[in-house]
Amino acid sequence: MQRIVVMNPKGGSGKTTIAINLASYLVSRQQSPVLMDFDPQGSSLRWVKKRQPPHPPIHVIAAFERDSRTTRSFQLRVPGGTTHVIVDTPAAIDAHRMPELTRDADKILVPVLPSDIDIHACSRCIRDLLLVAKVRREDNRIGVIANRVRRNTLAYQSLLRFLQTLGIPIVATIRDSQNYVRAAELGIGIHEMKSYVVRDDVEQWEPLIEWLGRPEAQPAPQPDLALTPTVTG
């Protein structure tokens, strides 16, 4: 069973979008993922409740809820046969909670938007994962997702340069697409939409899926900035 944690204390970075679309991809490949929603907003939970046949159900755990009648470990238990646990973490998470959320994580995904504020927040998140949660770079457990990107913009160029300085792999670059909004409204993911509508979006998930399937300590190749057009003005 693989445990994947989606984390960035900065709100609006796209954590839930990544988590639900990853769950959608896995269930569409006959896997048995579980969504574990730690965000008090309950967005992943609401998405699961919207799902209708013929789309297969996805098990979700409302981890943000507390039940004094049961132990925490009982509340967070997963069904037998679970292949993946995808943890959707809350915004404004304190650095001291990171070890608890990442201790058993096989992979940690950090989505970041191409803006100065988000780049700064991503920097703090990576720092806390390395120094507080004690996640080692060489284990290849942390991957950054450049999210809602518009290529050939100065903000995108700045984001790429920043991410390369971290020594953390950029495992996917996901464009700003309304397909994610439409899918979420229906309780599905882009991998469950008509292929001709989402062809470009689905292609952008291929490097991420490939990285998630790698064992630890096999670093992903970094994008070549020399091949990215430079925008001036």
pLDDT value of position 218: 52
pLDDT value of position 132: 95
As a whole number of angstroms, the distance between CA 175 and CA 164 comes to 19
pLDDT value of position 115: 85
pLDDT value of position 49: 96
Non-local CB neighbours of 6 within 8 Å, separated by 6+ positions = 15, 16, 18, 19, 22, 86, 87, 88, 89, 108, 109, 111
Residues of the chain whose pLDDT is less than 50? 223-233
pLDDT value of position 119: 85
Q: What percent of the chain has pLDDT over 90?
A: 66
Q: Does 9 sit behind a cis peptide bond, omega within 30 degrees of 0 on the bond before it? A: no
Domain boundaries, the chain: 2-214
CATH class as words, domain 2-214 = alpha beta
Full-prediction pTM beyond 0.75? Answer: yes
Give whole-number Cα distances, 123 to 39, 91, 126, in Å. 21, 15, 5
